[in-house]
Amino acid sequence: MEFLNPTALFGLLALPLLLIPYLLRRKPRRVLFSSLLLFMTGSEQMSSRPWGRLHLPPIFFLQLLLLALLILALSEPVFSVRPTSIAIVLDNSASMQSLENGKTRFALAKERASAVIGELSAAGQVDLYVTAPRLEKLGATPLSAADANGALRSLDAFDLGDPPADYNTALSRLASERKYERVYLITDHPTSGQGSTVRGVSVGAVQANQAVTAFEVHRSSLANARLEASAQVANYSNKDEKIRIFLKADGKTLAEREVAVGTGKTASATFEGLPEYPYYIAEIDARDALPLDNRRYAVAPLSRELKVLAITPRPQAAASLRSIPGVTVDVIAPTDYEKSERAGYGLEIFQFASPNRLPRSPALFILPPENSPLVQLGAPLTDTNLTSWREPHVLTRYINFSLFQLPYARPLTAQVPGEIVMETGKGALVFAHERQGVRYLVLGFDPLPYLGRGNLPMSIFTLNLLDWFLENSGAQSQATGEPIPLGTSRGDDVIVTPRAQKIPLTSGQNYFSGTYFQGIYQLSRGRDRQIFSRNLGDAAESDLRSPAPIEIQGSASNGAGASVLFSFWPYLMLASLALLIIEWFVNPRRRTVALRRKPARMAWR
Amino acid sequence: MLPNPFTPKFLTQLETLRLRTRKEVLGNQTGSYASPRRGTSLEFADYRRYAPGDDLRYLDWGIYARTDRLYVKVFREEVDLFAYVFIDASASMGFPSLQVKYLPACHVALALSYVILANHDHVKLHLLQDGVARAASPFFRGRRRMLDCVNFATSVTPGGALDFAPALGDYLKKMRRPGKAILISDFLMPASEYQKGLNLLRAFNLDIAVIQVLSRHEVDPAFPNGSLALIDSETEVEINYRWDQNSRREYQDRLAHHDLELRSFCHQSAINYSLYVTDRDLSDFVFATLPAIGLFK
């Protein structure tokens, strides 16, 4: 027998409360008597309790039974037979790697799954599902119990965040479409409610954790070759902590900092003047529940040069950027954009042009046309004086705005959330937007051509925006699950994962999407080596204090589920009703009224 | 001031009574109760050989004439009575109230005391009460000491528990003369306890009379039906009891059995026993019941 709403069983703990009215009503009258010699028979209880001995009438037991039946009915008991077709959905997100008494939550989840499989009938079949990177089935055909146990053993949790999903709906749909008799979701999120088909099983408990939540290595500016790193740590515990951050590369500790982090807060540390290494590791010295997020990887900027792809109908203006040291510019017409090879560019500049969808690399949009997904342009401004600007900001540093002249400008109306960096009274002129770690900038004026000393404020602004993009290029660490752009791979390309797994790439493959583990991915292309870092991107996975609960509603069971579960709580309700009627006749209300009369006290003194 | 029942008429009637003893007593003055000693009463007891110094008036000249031997007649000595009245003054005697149980018990004791005083015998009152200093009056003699008896008997309020045999033993240790012991109590105690106490009295060669005093509430408790928390007036032990017709009947059976046990013990031990239920008329009890059990001549 199982209970669909086991929480109601806690009501059984309240059953003794039924005694209270009897204790109040049945408090015996205290009578003084000369001697109790003749009352002492051995069966009477001697007592100094003020309540005396409680004499419970038969109606009490009837009421007790009535209440117990009602509580049992509320807990929705069902008789179940061994199911033959079930689905087990395992949460394989990063938080499942948290340790619980030496075992990971994922190991606990697999044990639970094995226990569920053990309850299968001899001919039972199991479909295994994982939640990350998306809810998907493992294997094409249903597995026998033995095969399912074998498949479970080979499973590992990914270094991925929880995908945004409504598990209640998704699992109910899964049950109804695939005709599963039971669907078990085994997760470290607290689950509430139970459906007749969909069951939630929770593993793990609340734990304290510290994490490196961000780590970047970048050049300090376009003109400066020195490397800088910044790391951010978070404290997901109930007390303030001092966290020591180590910056490592090539197996050596380059620097270390200690930061004080309040409970639930983050703190940053900056490391400057770093020597050149292929990649860097930021690590904290914490023995906490989730070791995965105690380290983070970042790749050094590929080169000191910023490679720009300009998409413009005016190639001369864009080509003027070549006069800036460290900047190489390739110019193409907007019509050639879709056909061109875009891999390897640190920045794409769209002048009077806009792609159909946002590029995956950082992009600058100069006076984009009407179809821009980021902004809408207003009518040309007659008064182009700036009224406000963000300061301090990389884009506005060193600029003397009294000299910042704009011969032509159009106000921008943002279509997406972002940051207005400069604006006039009529609207924004510089709008910054960041999506999945990629920066986009939209200008309501044209800073090109680059004139150098000929227009010093505008040249400074142009250099600032190139610096701003440079910060974001190359060294930016990407989240696990985000694909690695490959350009166009050849047949002999190989990618090596952080777990030293060599994966050959197919010819013409543009992306490698199997970045499920945190660490350094190495792309081998003939003699060339290119490395990429992928880190846990979901900070919510590190916060083990209050994972979001998963509500499982009592979904309508499908035909198969109905054969597995036999609900008999309606019969319990009927029995309760019958008992209520009996109680009504046996114990009419007028007696209750009589019991409320104040008893005479010590009438026999 | 004598209490209500002691009207002049009642007192006059009491003066007509004399306490009867089953045993010979040791008085110190001439009285009307038989003594084991030989003396000068009119009641012939025995003959003995004449010894020089004997009063020649008691020589039986008829025997001398027939046998030519000198015998003197010996007469039984008659002495006054020393009576000891023990009144139970434990808490149970105050139930349900002083007026309903303890005072009627005192009235019985005072009536008997008056009978003794009116016959120029000695009476000493004892209050049986634990937890306070043992209270015993001096010996009173003569009718004029009746008020002293009243004052003494009503000087205490019943209270506390009573350990029957030790309480009696304390008094008996100081007792010098055997006589009549009258014990007035509700005897609501285990049989072994009162038997131990009464055996102590018997050991002191006392002629014992027992008057059991119960109130009507004890004979026929009128509790309401239902659960009761009964509290013992002496020990304050509380028991929970379900009172209904069956338990009422059961209680009365037990009380009857308890009384019968007491009565049987008294009968076997040559002790006068009588039960006084306090709602009964005192004069009726004194003049009808007590003579019937042989307490009065």
* pLDDT bracket for residue A304 (50, 70, 90): low
C-alpha B142/C-alpha B118 separation (Å) is: 6
Quick one: pLDDT at residue B139? Answer: 92
Cross-strand partners of B186: none
pLDDT, tens only, A21-42: 777 766 677 888 988 888 876 5
Quick one: pLDDT at residue A581? Answer: 82
Q: What's A539's DSSP letter? A: G
Quick one: pLDDT at residue A359? Answer: 87
Cross-strand partners of A224: A221
C-alpha A235/C-alpha A210 separation (Å) is: 5
B88 touches chain A (CB under 8 A): no
Q: Return residues 327-386 of A near B (CB < 8 Å).
A: none
Write the residue in B188, B215, B240 that is nearest to A45 by C-beta. B240
Residue A561 has pLDDT above 50, yes or no: no
Cβ atoms of residues B95 and B233 within 8 Å: yes
Tell me if residue B280 falls in helix, strand or coil: coil
- Domain A82-206+546-561 matches domain A306-472 at the CATH topology level: yes
pLDDT, tens only, B145-189: 999 999 998 888 898 888 889 888 888 888 888 899 999 999 999
C-alpha A112/C-alpha B166 separation (Å) is: 76
* pLDDT bracket for residue A571 (50, 70, 90): confident
A33 touches chain B (CB under 8 A): yes
Write the residue in A29, A35, A46 that is nearest to B92 by C-beta. A35
C-alpha B251/C-alpha A40 separation (Å) is: 10
Per cent of chain A over pLDDT 70 is: 88
What is the mean predicted confidence (pLDDT) over B8-12? 93
Residue A429 has pLDDT above 90, yes or no: yes
Cβ atoms of residues A412 and A429 within 8 Å: yes
CB contact under 8 Å between B240 and A40, yes or no, is no
Quick one: pLDDT at residue A600? Answer: 34
Our CA angle for B81, B85, B88, nearest 5°, is 170
Residue A560 has pLDDT above 50, yes or no: no
Tell me if residue B101 falls in helix, strand or coil: helix
Residue of chain A whose Cα is closest to the Cα of B98: A605
Surface-to-core class of residue A490, CB atoms within 10 Å of its CB (0-12 exposed, 13-18 middle, 19+ buried): middle
Residue of chain B whose Cα is closest to the Cα of A32: B231
Domain residue ranges in chain A: 2-78+569-595, 82-206+546-561, 306-472
Quick one: pLDDT at residue A493? Answer: 86
Quick one: pLDDT at residue A426? Answer: 87
What is the mean predicted confidence (pLDDT) over B236-263? 90
* pLDDT bracket for residue A402 (50, 70, 90): confident
C-alpha A107/C-alpha A101 separation (Å) is: 11
Quick one: pLDDT at residue B257? Answer: 94
Tell me the C-alpha to C-alpha distance, in Å, between residue A234 and each of A293, A298, A436, A538, B190: 10, 18, 20, 12, 81
Q: How many CB atoms lie within 10 A of CB B74?
A: 15
Residue A12 has pLDDT above 60, yes or no: yes
C-alpha A233/C-alpha A210 separation (Å) is: 7
C-alpha B109/C-alpha B126 separation (Å) is: 10
What is the average pLDDT score of chain A? 83
C-alpha A169/C-alpha A198 separation (Å) is: 10
A chain contacts of residue B251, beta-carbon cutoff 8 Å: 38-39
Cross-strand partners of A295: A283
B chain contacts of residue A33, beta-carbon cutoff 8 Å: 95, 221, 230-233
CB contact under 8 Å between A34 and B92, yes or no, is yes
CB contact under 8 Å between B221 and A34, yes or no, is no
Identify each DSSP E strand in chain B by its residue range: 30-49, 71-79, 82-88, 122-128, 135-136, 140-141, 180-185, 207-214, 226-232, 238-243, 272-277
B229 touches chain A (CB under 8 A): yes
Residue B41 has pLDDT above 90, yes or no: no
Choose among B225, B245, B222, B170: nearest CA to B201.
B170
Domain residue ranges in chain B: 8-23+80-292, 37-77
Choose among A115, A114, A87: nearest CA to A181.
A87
Per cent of chain B over pLDDT 90 is: 61
Tell me the C-alpha to C-alpha distance, in Å, between residue A60 and each of A64, A70, A136, B270: 6, 15, 55, 56
Q: What's A381's DSSP letter? A: P
pLDDT, tens only, A72-130: 888 888 776 677 788 999 999 999 999 998 899 999 999 999 998 888 877 788 999 99
Residue A295 has pLDDT above 60, yes or no: yes
pLDDT, tens only, A385-394: 888 998 888 8
Q: Return residues 242-281 of B near A (CB < 8 Å).
A: 242, 251, 254-255, 258
CB contact under 8 Å between B242 and A31, yes or no, is no
| Contact partners, residue A397, CB within 8 Å, separation at least 6 | A464
Residue A434 has pLDDT above 60, yes or no: yes
* pLDDT bracket for residue A472 (50, 70, 90): low
Tell me the C-alpha to C-alpha distance, in Å, between residue A404 and each of A23, A428, A451, A459, B14: 88, 15, 14, 10, 139
Tell me the C-alpha to C-alpha distance, in Å, between residue A455 and each of A306, A341, A407, A517, B279: 22, 33, 12, 48, 130
Backbone phi, psi, residue B262, to 5°? -65, -45
What is the mean predicted confidence (pLDDT) over A320-339? 88
Where do runs of H (alpha helix) occur along B162-296? 164-172, 191-203, 216-219, 245-268, 282-284, 290-292
Q: ipTM of the assembly?
A: 0.85
A chain contacts of residue B227, beta-carbon cutoff 8 Å: 26, 28-29, 52-53, 55
What is the mean predicted confidence (pLDDT) over A168-183? 85
CB contact under 8 Å between B230 and A35, yes or no, is no
Residue with tokens 């009501």: A11
Tell me if residue A406 falls in helix, strand or coil: coil
What is the mean predicted confidence (pLDDT) over B201-218? 93
Quick one: pLDDT at residue B225? Answer: 84
Cβ atoms of residues B171 and B199 within 8 Å: no
In CATH terms, the superfamily for domain A82-206+546-561 is: von Willebrand factor, type A domain (3.40.50.410)
* pLDDT bracket for residue A596 (50, 70, 90): very low
Please give the torsion angle defined by the CA atoms of residues B237, B238, B243 and B249, in that order, rounded to the nearest 10 degrees: -10
Q: How many CB atoms lie within 10 A of CB A119?
A: 13
Query: What is the dihedral sign for C-alpha A484, A485, A488, A493?
Result: negative
Q: How many Å lie between the alpha carbon of A67 and the closest alpha carbon of chain B?
A: 26
Quick one: pLDDT at residue A55? Answer: 64
Choose among A570, A557, A540: nearest CA to A479.
A540
What is the average pLDDT score of chain B? 90
Residue of A24, A37, A595 for testing the chain B interface, max B β-carbons within 10 Å: A37
C-alpha B235/C-alpha B216 separation (Å) is: 22
Quick one: pLDDT at residue A141? Answer: 87
CATH architecture group of domain B8-23+80-292? 3-Layer(aba) Sandwich (3.40)
Higher pLDDT, residue A458 or A489: A458
Tell me the C-alpha to C-alpha distance, in Å, between residue B152 and each of B11, B142, B149, B183: 19, 16, 5, 16
Quick one: pLDDT at residue A223? Answer: 64
CB pairs A-B closer than 8 Å: 98
Write the residue in A26, A39, A600 that is nearest to B241 by C-beta. A39
Residue B10 has pLDDT above 90, yes or no: yes
| Contact partners, residue A593, CB within 8 Å, separation at least 6 | none
Cβ atoms of residues B77 and B41 within 8 Å: yes
Residue of A25, A26, A29, A39 for testing the chain B interface, max B β-carbons within 10 Å: A39
Quick one: pLDDT at residue A592? Answer: 39
Choose among A279, A242, A190: nearest CA to A535.
A279
pLDDT, tens only, A217-275: 877 766 666 788 889 999 999 899 999 999 999 989 999 999 999 998 999 999 988 88
Choose among B247, B275, B271: nearest CA to B259.
B275
CA atoms within 13 A on the CB side of B139: 17
* pLDDT bracket for residue A47 (50, 70, 90): very low
C-alpha A299/C-alpha B133 separation (Å) is: 103
* Protein fold of A306-472: Rossmann fold (3.40.50)
Q: How far apart are the first and last CA of chain A?
A: 58
pLDDT, tens only, A491-514: 788 999 999 999 988 887 878 888
Choose among B106, B91, B84: nearest CA to B278.
B106
The overall longest dimension of chain B from CA atoms, in Å, is 87
Tell me if residue B51 falls in helix, strand or coil: coil
Residue A362 has pLDDT above 50, yes or no: yes
